[in-house]
Amino acid sequence: MIPELLGVPPAGGPQAELWLGAHPMAPSLVEGKRLDELVSGDPEGIVGAQPVAAFGPRLPYLIKIIAAERPLSLQAHPSRTQAEEGFAREERQGISADAPHRTYRDSWPKPEVLVALQPTEALWGFREPAETYDLFRQLGVQSAIDVVKALADETRSPQDRLAEVFARLLRLSDSGRGIVRDVADAATGVDDDGRLGHFAATARELASYHPGDPGVLAALLMHRLTLQCNDAIFLAAGNLHAYLRGAGVEIMANSDNVMRGGLTPKFINVDELLKVIDFAPSAPALVRPVEQSPGVWHYPAPAPEFSLWRVEVSRRPAELPATALGRILLVTEGSVHITSRADSLPLRRGESALVTAGERPRLTGSGTVFVGAPGLG
């Protein structure tokens, strides 16, 4: 999806993410110059005085394109306090920032909003534990039922039950991982259009890509949801999630702190992940965009580091929001012109641009543009 969006040939391997921002691990280039260096040279002029006062001389948000042809890793992100403490600890331990076993790559949290660009399947948060236990019971794999039986103990809080079972699943021994195969085999025989059918389909799908991975069983504790184009979800600190299929625009705090919990060959720090996850069961809820002016839709989220808009440009020119803040524009459909007092820049699908604080450009043409900015303004 990403090469097609950019209009370039595929690179020959998986391309799951495209970053637009100033994270020092992979900063974007603006007219050949690193964006993080441009920001450090004139933070208030590029980002804006208010976010610099709040967050220091840096761009506080990062935009990504996420593309999943197959399930991406099960993961969660830390709060600001957890990130600061974890980063400081690993710095004291002398772990290189790019080491495979590094858990905290920076000292920032990573709340996120994802807006789907096409139908997108995702795992999000935890089901009520009694409901999940009932689904395992209906599937009928006794070894799995034995491992998750604490989900049915209603003398304990839902959080405690989920935390115990989740930890037990991720710490299954090599012999115990045969349970994953038994669950996948049992799921193959399920013919049901209801909850059990969706539960079994998730088990089959994940096990086909990750046979024997205990993350498959951990994922079965979670909600599965389908996002249609322009649907959005918010991922707070501690929210366990995974993208199974589809693509979208993500905006997040400017961080690369990812705690993985399975469905990946990458490093998994189970102890740290258990500290970060919020085990409170909750039903997934969409972020409802608000039309602020004709064709300009804002996706509200409780994160001070970022704001996100979708601008549908058609017959009338569109004014860019957040004029006091530094913005990044990404065109996902059509082509537009962005015109300021001094310049006019054509942008086609897959292209992006930086708009510095204080500029008041207009968009003309026909297309869809996502606009990211600091959350203060």
Based on C-alpha coordinates, what's the Rg of the chain?
Answer: 22
pLDDT of 13 above 60: yes
As a whole number of angstroms, the distance between CA 210 and CA 208 comes to 6
Reported as a pLDDT band with limits 50, 70 and 90, residue 193 is confident
What confidence score (pLDDT) does residue 173 get? Answer: 83
- Please give the mean pLDDT across all residues of the chain: 95
Q: What percent of the chain has pLDDT over 90?
A: 91
Whether the pLDDT of residue 42 is over 90: the answer is yes
Task: Return the domain boundaries, the chain.
Answer: 131-217
131-156 burial by CB neighbour count: b if 16+ within 10 A, else e? Answer: ebbbbbbebebeebbebbebbeeeee
pTM of the model: 0.95
Does residue 176 carry a pLDDT above 80?
no
pLDDT-based confidence at residue 365 (cuts at 50, 70, 90): very high
Q: What is the mean pLDDT of residues 276-283?
A: 96
Tens-digit pLDDT profile for residues 280-325: 999 999 999 999 999 999 999 999 999 999 999 998 889 899 999 9
Rounded CA separation 50/47 (Å): 9
Cβ neighbours of residue 252 under 8 Å, at least 6 residues apart?
61, 62, 64, 110, 111, 112, 113, 305, 306
pLDDT band at 175 (very low <50, low <70, confident <90, very high): confident
Measured between its terminal Cα atoms, the distance across the chain in Å is 33
List CB contacts of 141: < 8 A, sequence separation 6 or more: 179, 182, 183, 186
pLDDT exceeds cutoff 60 at 162: yes
Mean pLDDT over 211-237 rounds to 96
Higher-pLDDT residue of 216 and 193 is 216
Region 370-374: mean pLDDT is 98
With pLDDT > 70 as the criterion, what percentage of the chain qualifies?
Answer: 99
Residue identified by tokens 């002398």 is 94
Measured at the CA of 152, the angle between CA 216 and CA 155, to 5 degrees, comes to 135
Strand intervals (E) in the chain: 17-21, 29-30, 33-34, 61-68, 74-76, 112-116, 120-126, 222-227, 232-235, 241-253, 259-262, 290-293, 296-299, 307-313, 318-319, 327-339, 344-348, 352-355, 362-373
Q: What is the average per-residue pLDDT within 233-242?
A: 96
> 282: buried, middle or exposed (CB in 10 Å: 19+, 13-18, 0-12)?
middle
Structure tokens at 292: 């602020």
- Under the banding of pLDDT at 50, 70 and 90, the label for residue 97 is confident
Distance CA 140, CA 12 (A): 42
**Confidence label for 377 from pLDDT (cuts 50, 70 and 90):** very low
- Report how far residue 375's alpha carbon sits from residue 365's, in angstroms, rounded to the nearest whole number: 27
Work out the average pLDDT over 155-180. Answer: 93
